[in-house]
Structure 1
Amino acid sequence: MKKTGLKVSNLYIAQVKDKRGLENRENYNLPKLNDARQPKCPEEKEKAVEEALIYLQMI
């Protein structure tokens, strides 16, 4: 947030980690419906998350 000024949700971080093949923890807050819609991560936030993961040496 300090660098880009964007607030990024945990859902977006998990989507980027899935896209890059990183391991995710088990989610205990599952949706009640199996076909529940999830918003897709916007391009600018995806780039910010990838930069953060590179900074943290996860990718």
Structure 2
Amino acid sequence: MDYEPKDNEYLKDVKGCATYTEIKEWIMSEYGLKVSSLYVAQIKNKCGIEKRLNYNIGDNKSRVPQCPPEKEKAIMAAFRHFNMI
């Protein structure tokens, strides 16, 4: 017997995951903002969302830009949309 759920209600308590590209595309379509992967990673750190190991860490000599508040709000909305938080 095959079962197909009528909606995604059964997934409401499951933590979602989305790629950086999916998050950036969703923010562009909903808010018209272009966000970088760096900003998404910074907000993931702030929320305690696990990330993969970054092998391109640099030499700590350059300044790292911080995510502006309006882009942080958009990224947080994307996390909620994708059930990441």
1:13-24 equivalence runs, <5 A: 13-24=40-51
Q: Percent identity?
A: 53
Q: Is 1:34 paired with 2:78?
A: no
What is the total number of aligned residue pairs between the two structures? 58
RMSD, aligned α-carbons:
1.0
Task: Looking at secondary structure, tell me which structure has more helix per residue.
Answer: 2
Name the CA distance, whole Å, in 1 between partners of 2:35 and 2:56: 18
* Structure 2 unaligned blocks of 5 or more: 1-27
Structure 1 position 24, deviation (Å): 1.2
Name the CA distance, whole Å, in 1 between partners of 2:62 and 2:52: 20
Say which of 33, 42, 52 aligns to 1:25: 52
User: Larger Cα Rg: Structure 1 or Structure 2?
Assistant: 2
Tell me the TM-score normalized by structure 1: 0.89
Could you list the structure 1 runs, at least 4 aligned residues long, displaced by more than 2 angstroms after superposition: none
Structure 1 position 36, deviation (Å): 3.0
Structure 1 position 20, deviation (Å): 0.7
* Counterpart position of 2:5: none
Name the CA distance, whole Å, in 2 between partners of 1:25 and 1:36: 22
Name the CA distance, whole Å, in 1 between partners of 2:65 and 2:45: 15
